């Protein structure tokens, strides 16, 4: 179960928990979502082992999923404390309910542990079971223990000294009732900003597209209630998808220069909270959709199904991924039209195809340019190579150039003359759009583009001024 090493310290062994303590994540969820992302059927087969117990489930997943333990979000406070104790010559052990193979891999990678304790396929090393195992190895009161959760109480009660990692003030106060000398290693404080980032509330800007059909038809005032409800429903649905995608893409996010700071990838929001959040958000979205026409619900379900297909499979397929991304942008227009019972204009459909395909390609170009600037290899989890960049840039430029052309053709149609008193003034919009797309392409080439062009547009001063100018041009044309 463990091996010994000569120690220069008179202190008893220090035993460290893994999940939520040494690392700010849960290895079981990590490995499951990794397996679900790479081999969904194997993940489903692994769940079939659950009737035999949690240890059997963990063992089945460990047989299939190979984690990159060097990329895990370590708790620096705990890690520094443990490394300091190791340098003092103290014996250090890693004990976790995680499958023993994973525990040993983490221990081997750090190189400071004298032994490991972990679940073995039949024995789930958690709570009282862990306490018993440690008492058999070191004796009651013969070790110090660092844990983080209520399930660790059985072990803390058998330990000489109690250490609480990322302690919540209320939890630490409860522990000190029966362990007055319990020490905190870092304090946990709930950061609402992290949860807002997790649901990607800034990405709700994309869902403003549901307003476009009502604006284009000059029916926004009459249909404002329905459009606002559609916006909220679609936003909750999109947030549900974003969370699921983040859980499936933890490995790739941690290899990305910016995405590694996302709440789940960085460990600032527990994976378990994401597991609970994404179905709740989806349920809220569906409840709101029931107050809108059935066609809106169809658009919402279609969006969710396509996004799930993208998350599980299509995002790894060459060019299919950007085509799907463009369709996901377009689905917001479909949903907006369905919410007010209107049909999408063929002109709007054509414009959306080209502008959204351009933005999807810009997203991929920015990722490749970022890797080139950092001298990294081809991106993991994607079908693109660094050598594909010139072709992708050409396609983005071609698609982007066509979208103002479609708009120009639309300005000469009878539909415009029927809706606008001064249609010639709308040429201002066409010119601004051509300028904005050209600037986006140039900034992407320079490596100054955010990996999400919509987020860039919402935070870029020139883009906001361009949007304001377009809105003004439309208003003076009515």
| pLDDT tens sequence across 52-93 | 888 999 999 998 888 888 888 999 999 999 999 999 999 999
| pLDDT value at residue 8 | 44
- pLDDT at residue 103 above 80? yes
Give yes or no for a contact between 97 and 126, defined as CB atoms under 8 angstroms apart.
yes
| Angle at alpha carbon of residue 292, lines to 323 and 457, rounded to 5° | 40
| pLDDT value at residue 24 | 92
| pLDDT value at residue 380 | 67
- pLDDT at residue 6 above 70? no
Instruction: Please enumerate in sequence order all residues whose Cβ is within 8 A of that of 330, keeping only pairs 6 or more positions apart, or say none.
Output: 349, 352, 353, 356
Selection from 23, 35, 24 nearest residue 263 by Cα: 24
Selection from 332, 90, 311, 146 nearest residue 235 by Cα: 332
- pLDDT at residue 156 above 80? yes
| pLDDT value at residue 81 | 95
| Separation in Å, CA 218 to CA 66, 303, 344, 408, 418 | 55, 25, 13, 20, 11
The whole-model pTM stands at 0.80
Q: Per mean pLDDT, which range of 181-185, 256-260, 379-383, 422-426 is the poorest?
A: 379-383
| pLDDT value at residue 397 | 92
In this prediction, residues 220-237 reach a mean pLDDT of: 91
Measured CA to CA, the distance from residue 311 to residue 292 in angstroms comes to 27
- pLDDT at residue 124 above 60? yes
In the numeric block, which tokens belong to residue 58? 């963990």
Question: Model confidence over 372-412: pLDDT tens digits?
Answer: 887 888 776 677 788 888 899 999 999 999 988 888 888 87
Q: How confident is the model at residue 3 (pLDDT cuts 50, 70, 90)?
A: very low
| pLDDT value at residue 141 | 93
In this prediction, residues 249-274 reach a mean pLDDT of: 86
- pLDDT at residue 7 above 60? no
| pLDDT value at residue 317 | 85
Instruction: Please enumerate in sequence order all residues whose Cβ is within 8 A of that of 361, keeping only pairs 6 or more positions apart, or say none.
Output: 322, 392, 393, 395, 396, 399
In this prediction, residues 302-310 reach a mean pLDDT of: 89
421 versus 337: which is more confidently predicted? 337
- pLDDT at residue 160 above 50? yes
In the numeric block, which tokens belong to residue 187? 């304090």
In this prediction, residues 284-292 reach a mean pLDDT of: 94
In this prediction, residues 24-34 reach a mean pLDDT of: 91
């Amino acid at each position: 179960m463990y091996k010994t090493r000569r120690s220069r310290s008179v202190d008893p062994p220090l035993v460290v928990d893994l999940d939520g303590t040494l690392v700010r994540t849960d290895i079981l969820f990590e490995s499951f979502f990794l397996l679900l992302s790479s081999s969904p059927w194997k993940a489903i087969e692994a769940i079939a082992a659950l009737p035999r117990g949690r240890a059997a489930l963990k063992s089945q997943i460990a047989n299939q999923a190979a984690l990159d333990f060097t990329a895990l979000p370590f708790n620096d406070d705990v890690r520094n404390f443990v490394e300091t104790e190791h340098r003092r010559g103290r014996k250090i052990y890693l004990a976790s309910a995680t499958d023993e193979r994973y525990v040993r891999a983490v221990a081997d990678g750090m190189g400071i542990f004298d032994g490991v304790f972990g679940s073995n396929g039949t024995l789930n090393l958690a709570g009282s079971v862990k306490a018993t195992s440690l008492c058999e190895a070191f004796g009651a009161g013969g070790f110090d223990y660092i844990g983080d959760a209520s399930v660790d109480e059985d072990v803390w009660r058998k330990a000489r000294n109690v250490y609480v990692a990322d302690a919540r003030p209320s939890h630490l106060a409860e522990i000190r009732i029966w362990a007055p000398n319990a020490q905190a290693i870092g304090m946990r404080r709930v950061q609402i900003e992290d949860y807002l980032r997790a649901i990607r509330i800034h990405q709700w800007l994309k869902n403003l597209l549901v307003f476009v059909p009502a604006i284009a038809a000059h029916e926004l005032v009459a249909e404002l209630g329905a459009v606002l409800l559609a916006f909220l429903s679609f936003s909750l649905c999109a947030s549900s998808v974003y969370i699921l995608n983040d859980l499936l893409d933890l490995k790739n996010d941690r290899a990305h220069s910016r995405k590694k700071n996302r709440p789940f990838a960085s460990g600032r929001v527990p994976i378990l909270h994401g597991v609970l959040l994404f179905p709740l958000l989806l349920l809220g979205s569906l409840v709101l959709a029931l107050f809108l026409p059935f066609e809106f619900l169809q658009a919402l379900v279609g969006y969710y199904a396509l996004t799930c297909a993208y998350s599980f499979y299509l995002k790894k397929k060459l060019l299919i991924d950007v085509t799907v991304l463009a369709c996901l942008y377009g689905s917001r227009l479909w949903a907006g039209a369905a919410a007010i019972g209107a049909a999408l204009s063929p002109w709007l459909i054509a414009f959306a195809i080209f502008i959204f395909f351009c933005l999807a390609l810009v997203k991929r170009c920015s990722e490749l340019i970022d890797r080139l600037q950092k001298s990294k290899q081809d991106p993991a989890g994607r079908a693109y190579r660094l050598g594909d960049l010139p072709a992708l840039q050409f396609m983005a430029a071609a698609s982007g150039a066509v979208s103002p052309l479609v708009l120009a053709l639309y300005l000469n149609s009878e539909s415009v003359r029927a809706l606008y008193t001064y249609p010639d003034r709308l040429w201002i919009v066409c010119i601004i759009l051509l300028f904005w797309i050209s600037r986006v392409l140039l900034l992407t080439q320079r490596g100054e583009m955010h990996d999400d062009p919509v987020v860039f547009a919402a935070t870029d001063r020139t883009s906001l001024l361009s949007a304001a100018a377009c809105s003004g041009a439309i208003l003076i044309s009515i």
